[in-house]
Structure 1
Amino acid sequence: MTDNRLQIETPENLTLEAEIAGFGSRFLAATADYTLLIIVIFILGLLFSRSLPTIEDSTYASLLVISFTFLSIVLYHLFFELVWNGQTPGKRWLGIRVVQVNGMPASGSALIVRNLVRLFDFLPALYGVGILSLFLTKQTQRLGDLAAGTIVIYERPQVELRTIKQDMRVHYRLIKTVEPIPSSIDISRLTREDYQAIVNYLQRRSTLTNDYLAVAVAKKVADQMDYQDNRFRLNHPADAELFLEWVARAFELRGQ
């Protein structure tokens, strides 16, 4: 059973959705990566075989080859995922990326754990445990993902997030953003829905004819905040609008 959507909380207090990469995409990405790896390992094997003495013990030789192969696989994935922020050449080709389960960029320690556990994903052979784990976990995770707290998602175009951020910006008319937030503005009890309601009003206020809509929105927000200060006369549209601008600004600063 799989849940192919991942919810991501942004600093703007928005919830974005990303699609979790399925088995097919991960398989194609892995195929591309291992094709490159085979070429690299073959070339390195030729170079080392010419510089190392002949090993008579076949068991020792086999262990050396297996160790070298596994080390190459781990270092290949780890190098690219660290340098390319969760992507290998195969993942970049397929447009997928490793992130933390909360949607944030994968940390270096998480990527190290993820790739070291790759050895167990190979067991008993041909990635058997890893493939089984991909099918059995809700979010298509192999053992390395489970151990590191990571997940693979389809990468969204960056323009989408920038557009959303732009849409949530407020043009302040009554306050100066360089001024400190009044101490009475405590947004800890407010939700994302409250913030969106405030932004929706502030973005549309120039087209609205009912000035007392600001009063209605401000009173609802103040009730949520348990606002007790008398600095703002929320029954007056101008003060109500000023109050809403300060609340919106507080949300923006919290996201920075």
Structure 2
Amino acid sequence: MSNIKIPTSFNIDLEFETADAMTRFLAWLIDFAIRGVYVLAAFMVISTFKINSDARMVLVILVAMLPVMLYFLVTEIVMGGSSPGKKILHIKAVSLTGNQPTASQHLIRWIFRMIESPLMAGLFFIPVILPIITMARTPYSQRLGDLVAGTIVINTKRKGSIEETIFRDMSASDYQPQFPQIMRLSDRDMNKVKDLLDKALKAGDEVLAAKVAFRVKEVLHIESELPNTSFLETVLNDYNYYTTRDN
């Protein structure tokens, strides 16, 4: 387990703790068990159908084998870099820029998962030595698919309450956003903005608020006459509005 610092467009180094090999293996075991239960259930259901062997084979492929093969691709896209096993153990795949992987990055990781796990027993992929070697030889415990896709798997479990995050519930208000450019920043960029704003408000430090506001405007090419603290509050609200609306 090691830390990686990633520079962002906001000139802030984001620090991630990479997931160790054992945690990733345990996550894989959970996913393996989920797929196993699903396949057993699928076979039990299919066995009750009074159909010929050709039709039964088609059902096996479509209902049992295909979902198992696509399991990681679909779950990691839908769950933003996590599979159920990863979610339970608080790890996820992110790009080397710190953002959620793109669809092409997910696809590359999935394709190389097939290459890295070529042996099959029934419908389950058996992990072989290649992922273990690459994870042991890379500084951020990346398997071959991560290296090619430009991703890493990180720990997401953090101490603290929701009040310490950028989350603000915008669903109950008829809010009108002002700065759509704010979506060019990531969650961690916005968390840093919030941290600095909180410090400025707590200390009554207008100079700090001005520096942060200036930097945000400079990076995003925003012009605004709002007071510095009001401007920063607005961009935080805008970010929450756009992210919750999109989701």
Structure 1 residue identity aligned to 2:13: T
Stretches of 4+ aligned residues off by more than 4 angstroms = 64-70, 158-161, 203-206, 244-248
Assess if the C-alpha contact under 8 Å between 1:12 and 1:165 holds in 2.
no
- Residue 196 of structure 1 corresponds to none
Q: Secondary structure at the match of 2:197?
A: coil
1:1-256 map, 5 Å: 4-10=2-8, 12-49=10-47, 50=49, 53-54=52-53, 71-123=66-118, 126-128=126-128, 129-157=130-158, 159=162, 162=166, 164-169=192-197, 248-253=212-217, 254=219
> Matched residues in 1 for 2:105 and 2:2: separation?
22
Q: Secondary structure at the match of 2:70?
A: helix
Query: What TM-score comes out, normalization by structure 2 length?
Result: 0.60
Give, in angstroms, the shift of residue 81 of structure 1: 1.1
Structure 1 residue identity aligned to 2:216: E
**Aligned CA distance change for structure 1 residues 29 and 245 (closer, same or farther; 3 Å):** closer
Structure 1 residue identity aligned to 2:5: Q
Give, in angstroms, the shift of residue 144 of structure 1: 1.8
Query: What TM-score comes out, normalization by structure 1 length?
Result: 0.58
Q: Secondary structure at the match of 2:35?
A: helix
> Matched residues in 2 for 1:21 and 1:89: separation?
16
* Structure 2, gaps ≥5 residues long: 121-125, 167-190, 221-234, 236-247
**Aligned CA distance change for structure 1 residues 48 and 10 (closer, same or farther; 3 Å):** same
Assess if the C-alpha contact under 8 Å between 2:6 and 2:96 holds in 1.
no
Q: Which structure has the bigger radius of gyration?
A: 1
* Structure 1, gaps ≥5 residues long: 56-60, 172-198, 207-240
Assess if the C-alpha contact under 8 Å between 1:18 and 1:156 holds in 2.
no
RMSD: 3.6
**Aligned CA distance change for structure 1 residues 120 and 52 (closer, same or farther; 3 Å):** farther
Residue by residue over 1:124-143, the C-alpha shift from the partner in whole angstroms, topping out at 9 and shown as x without a partner, is 57311222222222211122
Q: Percent identity?
A: 28
**Aligned CA distance change for structure 1 residues 156 and 12 (closer, same or farther; 3 Å):** farther
Q: Secondary structure at the match of 2:97?
A: coil
Give, in angstroms, the shift of residue 116 of structure 1: 2.1
**Aligned CA distance change for structure 1 residues 68 and 23 (closer, same or farther; 3 Å):** farther
Q: Secondary structure at the match of 1:152?
A: strand
